[in-house]
Amino acid sequence: MTSESSHPVLKKSFNEDGDIGARSTKILLDFMMAHLPLGTEFAQGALVGKKLGLTSYYQRYAIMRFSGVGPVSTRLLLWTVASANALVAAMTYALLGWSRASAYAATRNTARFAGVCFLFAFAAPALVRFVRRLPSEATLVLAFVAAQGVHFATVIVLLSAFEREHVAQNPLRTALVFTLGFGLVLTAALTAHSRTARWYAALRTFALYAIFLIFTLAFAFNRLKPLRVLAVLLLAALIARLTSRVQSPTRWAAGGTGMVR
């Protein structure tokens, strides 16, 4: 019987949400490797992580670490998502031809694809309960960034090939809108992985929720009514995300008073 309170290095590694970062995960795994009974318990599939207050993703990460099952390759996922969105743009141009209308359609379609990617990333803390091998939230955020990068490329094509006059007439406005959008996505990419620093967590939260608001409003007021369903799904993802975040400190509070068996 080992109390987690006797291992302050583990308790210190938890952030305010009850999660732990990649560095803390390594500390936990190294600790378990040094204590074979506990490691064996993980290898057998026992959810010791729940007793330690870990969120679902880190429980599964530790279990996969001991069972030899690896998560989905981040690099493969990013290339797949970027290639899929590039295919969306290419198919749009192939069907509509090379014109101003098709360029606008390509920007809209790639933005919608990126919006769906963001939906999965935003809902990841809740989805991880139901999908065993779901990539981490950080990986899914980076996948969204990859898809959004393709969208930015289609915007550049639109502005440089078909809207030069508009750009010339409104250079500051165009630059400001593009820079703000790019900066927001870049912030999401740079803060994709959770850390304990408060300023970092605040910046990460701001970026994710600002992007959430932009996509929700865009889908809610879309002229194509079927796409408005995505706004409803984003709101559902918000509720699920907040619910999962509220449950994390509860797990830690419950686990902090018990014993690890």
Place of tokens 């429980």: 59
pLDDT at 26: 55
Tokens of 222: 């879309």
Question: Is the separation of the CB atoms in 139 and 74 below 8 Å?
Answer: yes
Q: Regarding predicted confidence, which is higher, 31 or 123?
A: 123
> Which amino acid does the sequence have at 249?
P
The alpha carbon of 193 is separated from its chain's Cα centroid by a whole number of angstroms, namely 9
Beta-carbon contacts of 99 under 8 Å, excluding residues fewer than 6 positions away, are 162
DSSP, collapsed to helix, strand or coil, labels residue 222 as coil
pLDDT tier, 250 (very low <50, low <70, confident <90, very high otherwise): very low
pLDDT confidence of 132, banded at 50, 70, 90? Answer: confident
Q: Following DSSP, what letter does each residue of 33-97 receive, concatenated?
A: HHSHHHHHHHHTT--HHHHHT--HHHHHHHHHHHHTPPPPPHHHHHHHHHHHHHHHHHHHHHHH-
Is pTM beyond 0.85 here? no
Q: Is 21 a residue whose pLDDT tops 60?
A: no
Amino acid identity of 37?
P
Tens of pLDDT, residue by residue over 172-183, are 999 999 999 999
What whole-number distance in Å separates Cα of residue 78 and Cα of residue 57? 19
* Lowest-confidence region among 4-8, 225-229, 257-261: 257-261
What tokens appear for 200 in the block? 């970092």
* Interatomic CA distance for residues 14 and 197, integer angstroms: 11
At 228 the pLDDT is: 96
Q: What 3-state class would DSSP assign to 260?
A: strand
Shortest CA distance to 141 belongs to which of 118, 164, 174?
Answer: 118
Q: Give the closest residue to 108 by CA, choosing from 190, 100, 169.
A: 100
Mean of per-residue pLDDT scores for the chain: 79
- Per-residue pLDDT band for 194 (boundaries 50, 70, 90) equals confident
**Interval 148-163: pLDDT, tens:** 999 999 999 999 999 9
